Amino acid sequence: MKKDIKNLTLRELEGFFASLNEKKYRAKEVFNAIYKERKESFLAITTLSKEIRETLDNIFYITIFKEISRKTSKDDATKFVFELSDKRLIESVLIKNTNKIGRTWFTACLSTQVGCPLGCQFCATGKMGIIRNLETGEIVEQFLRLERENPISNIVFMGMGEPLLNYENVKKAIQILTDENGRNLGKRHITISTSGITPMIYKLADEIQSVKLAVSLHSAIQIKRDSLMPGLKNYPLNKLKEALVYYNKKTGNTVTLEYLLIDGINDSKSDAEALVKFSRDLRFVKVNLIHYNEIPINNFKPSSKEIEFQKFLLTNGLRATLRLSKGTDVSAACGQLATNSKENIQFKI
Ligand code: SAH
Ligand code: SF4
């Protein structure tokens, strides 16, 4: 069976060429051809001899997704649905950002799993359950496909799935996309968002220090968090905090706590107090308050106290921003990503 070459890091590809008694630098040539020149077939890599091109073609393939659909929202987020080789569907979002002085840049929001096993109450992906992890090459290909539209400077792993439950493949995809012989994307421009898989936060702190970390907290009160995020019961808040203290110390990076504001659920004064208390032990921390995007699988509504909640945090010395999610009118926003690949149709959400 042929393998996807986009699953291989530069080091792994060098190992492959060494096993053929070929020069190691051939791997760099392949990386350059695929990730810089964007060649989509081995036969087109004319810097390699015909013999090597044919050998590569016999052993590997280059994943190219089929695009099923794309929709652009009024605020410039384009949601793509891609079909994988086993006909499963995933979603990836290209987001155009503009700052106050009019500078624009693009961010890729990438999926890491087909579905997600953690079943958070507020999340459309969580309602799908888990179908499978994405391969390294499938994560890399999402980025390359989005970059056909515009040069991209940032990646957020905030699409479908829990990145830290597919850690090795996410790590390899980051190694490939940041490799200076290939796409050479800045590591500081990558954010991993996790629901709080504690043991993997330690691993991340030890192994991929330059990427940024965001943690979906949503409640700093244990019983509330357990009911909102039932899949996280084995990773309680006190252990999560310990992991984040370690992360701060080891990397010196700020942790962003993501906090969805849901009306009457987690937006009271005592919720805000619990959040302040949770954050107090962290050295480098900021809170990103997220506007809740309604999905038809529950009765949750966006909070009417967003500004008030933010003020409380600020007056208690916590850095806190309020984020309006982009792409709501095309279901491209956070928590709205869900595909039903069994029937090959998208949920109408
Ligand atoms: N599994 C990871 C990454 C994917 S979710 C995680 O949970 O962090 C990315 C972000 O979307 C998370 O902060 C998540 O909490 C948020 N999100 C989920 N459902 C949402 C909704 N209905 N409205 C707005 N944001 C949502
Ligand atoms: Fe999974 Fe994140 Fe959605 Fe929770 S919020 S179900 S962890 S994708």
- What pLDDT was estimated at residue 346? 39
Q: Is the CB of 160 under 6 A from ligand 1?
A: no
* % of residues, the chain, pLDDT over 90: 87
How far is residue 68's CA from residue 83's CA, in Å, rounded to a whole number?
A: 7
Question: How many A from CA of 124 to the centre of ligand 2?
Answer: 8
pLDDT in tens, 124-149: 999 899 999 999 999 999 999 999 99
**Which residues contact residue 268 at a Cβ distance below 8 angstroms, ignoring those fewer than 6 apart?**
none
- What pLDDT was estimated at residue 51? 95
In this model, does residue 14 exceed pLDDT 50?
Answer: yes
How far is residue 59's CA from residue 69's CA, in Å, rounded to a whole number?
A: 31
In this model, does residue 159 exceed pLDDT 70?
Answer: yes
Residue to mutate, 213, 260, 347, ligand 1, most ligand atoms under 8 Å from C-beta: 260
Question: How many A from CA of 165 to the centre of ligand 2?
Answer: 11
In this model, does residue 250 exceed pLDDT 80?
Answer: yes
Task: Supply the pTM of this predicted model.
Answer: 0.94
- What pLDDT was estimated at residue 347? 38
pLDDT in tens, 255-285: 999 999 999 999 999 999 999 999 999 999 9
116 is catalytic: no
- In the structure encoding, which two tokens stand for residue 2, read together? 């042929």
Query: By three-state DSSP, how is residue 190 classified?
Result: strand
Q: Is the CB of 331 under 6 A from ligand 1?
A: no
* % of residues, the chain, pLDDT over 70: 96
Instruction: Report the atom number in ligand 1 closest to the C-alpha of 157.
Output: 3
In this model, does residue 349 exceed pLDDT 80?
Answer: no
The ligand 2 site (C-beta within 6 Å) comprises: 116, 118-120, 123, 125-126, 161-162, 195, 216
Protein residue whose Cα sits closest to atom 7 of ligand 1: 195
Q: Is the CB of 166 under 6 A from ligand 1?
A: no
149 is catalytic: no
- What pLDDT was estimated at residue 283? 96
Can you tell me the mean pLDDT for 85-89? Answer: 95
Going by pLDDT thresholds of 50, 70 and 90, the confidence category of residue 218 is very high
Can you tell me the mean pLDDT for 223-241? Answer: 98
In this model, does residue 82 exceed pLDDT 50?
Answer: yes
Can you tell me the mean pLDDT for 113-126? Answer: 95
Q: Which ligand is nearest to the CA of 338?
A: 2
pLDDT in tens, 186-198: 999 999 999 999 9
Which pairs count as long-range contacts for 217-220, CB under 8 Å and 24+ apart, including other chains? 217/257, 217/258, 217/259, 217/275, 217/278, 218/120, 218/122, 218/258, 218/259, 218/260, 218/266, 219/266, 219/271, 219/274, 220/271, 220/274, 220/275, 220/277, 220/278
Q: Is the CB of 334 under 6 A from ligand 1?
A: yes
* Mean of the per-residue pLDDT values of the chain: 93
pLDDT in tens, 30-46: 999 999 999 999 999 99
